[in-house]
Structure 1
Amino acid sequence: MPLITRLVDRVSTLEEQLTQERAIWAVLEGRVNATAEQGDLAARLKTDVCSTTPKLGRIFQAQSPAGRYKYDLDEARHACAEQGASLASYHHLYEAWQDGLEYCACGWLSDGTARYPMQTARTGCGSRIGIITCSHTSSNAWCFRQLNIFYRPPAGERCAPCNQVLGVGTDEGLKSELDRMKIVVKQLSRKIADWLKDRVSSLEEQLAQERTIRTELEGRVDRLSAHVQNTTVQDELIGVNETDLCSTTPKLGRLFHVQSPAGHYTYDLDEARHACAEQGASLASYHHLYEAWQDGLERCACGWLSDGTARYPMQEDRLVLF
């Protein structure tokens, strides 16, 4: 039946999602373990500091809120300072250009020139490749925000950029900073892993609920099929569709009893309809109540039905006083 098919598809989707979540979880656990085992991280980073750019950080362009090319040199310095940065040097821009930066907009540098980097010769952008100088009296600002990692090479070690730019701090300071970074990464990875564990547990619980519902509905369908086969109109129901089945037998769903917050037996018929609607339901029919009674329902409390009658189902003869 279509409903069972949808439930089977839903369970399959959840199982696939569970597999994906567990795969991500395993990758994160691996990253946590790898981070904890990287004892040579400090040595490798010291090598990187000496062999690549003179300063570790990020270069970016700032534009005035008043519009494009509105900063003079002092205003550009101030704009960068407001973002925890300083005016970039020509060397910063050159290194970024070597790494592939292209930006067709002039920006002030710390040497008082305004320039921009181009990787391709384009009309309107200087029509050439390289670090292009601007003749504007006002411009945007090239800012550089430095990463605070310091390293001083041992005596006799040739590392000119480090001596010039990172000539403060000690080996111990660098190791301390790297240790702190590893701890932060490990803690963050653990938090992500814990979140994923909770997510997997939630999905497993939802999957179990879906399977329970599917099992109950399959049993319900089996009982309905047996009921249809025992009727005298069996031949008329050959090829019946889902709509016909729902009009002949009760809808697949849950029948429940609602009581007014004001107390026992205080709903009139319209109020009862409204109370059901507030819970995303409708008044049950007599046939719904009859089917539930056949399945063993017993409730010694009257309730409105859609035909305007109030009834209740009993499995045993009991003296009832109203």
Structure 2
Amino acid sequence: MRAVQITAFGGPEVVTVREVPDPEPGPGQILIDVDRCGVNFADTLLRENAYLAGATLPLIPGIEVVGRTRDGRRVAALIEHGGYAERAAISRDGAFPVPGDLDDTAALALLAQGLTAWWLINRTTSVQPGESVVVHAAAGGVGSLAVQLAKISGAGRVIATASTPAKRDLALSLGADAAVDPGAGDLTKALIEANEGRPVDAVLEMIGGPVTGRSIAALAPFGRLAFYGMAGQVEPDPVSPRALQRTSATVSGFWLANALQRPQVLRAAYTEMAALVARGRLRVIHGGDHPMSEVRRAHEAMSARRTTGKLVLDPRT
């Protein structure tokens, strides 16, 4: 079968389409024919051997697939790796049935990105009706869904950050009440001003560097910051427990890999979001449908943060 295989760590030049053997399903797994596979920022980190999970070469990247089982059922699934391929072995119990009215891009967007956004809003920060929420990188795959899910959950005011005017306009079109440039001279002040002069209740943060500390400084008493990535690849400054104590603030981390141990929760969340998409209440931003032969171009755009919404690859082209 055709697949993207990495044999050395590095930049986009290391992702290469090759002929490789079909995967052999292990115990509890089934083989599917892949219609589309998702591209995530985590894939670029894995390519550079900079991801949270270690990697062993050679490696077929890709953690999201949507396709059909040999008996014709349409399913989506999260996998450890192997998604950039014509066929993939997936967990029989971890396969999410895909409704007929959900296109392939939406089916993939609700996996790593959608489930992360859902968990951050509903579990990690437990956003309550009327609370304010800051969503950093609000035009990205997770951010664009998190803005909407925050509103659906009853958030009182959603403040989006994004690096360009076009991305900020997109966040506003998705329901954000205000949009801020994260490169603002005084980000803490900008976030509080965007919240009509009040500190914020919850922050979803995946940039790192000074953005993290400046966001913590904008938290209200009992505020929560959920750290779920580091797109800037710059470690945040150390967090002072005494500073957290002064406002009874909470800083927590989230990695979707840990949530895989609760498949029933993820299945219910996926079903809930699919229904919201079908009813027009949750909008998936289609960020580009690339032939697998153009995987390097997709990785270049992702690494340069030129993307919005969900990028996918067609393994058949």
After TM superposition, the score normalised by the length of structure 1 is 0.23
Greater C-alpha Rg: 1
After TM superposition, the score normalised by the length of structure 2 is 0.23
The structure with more strand, counted as a fraction of residues:
2
The structure with more helix, counted as a fraction of residues:
1
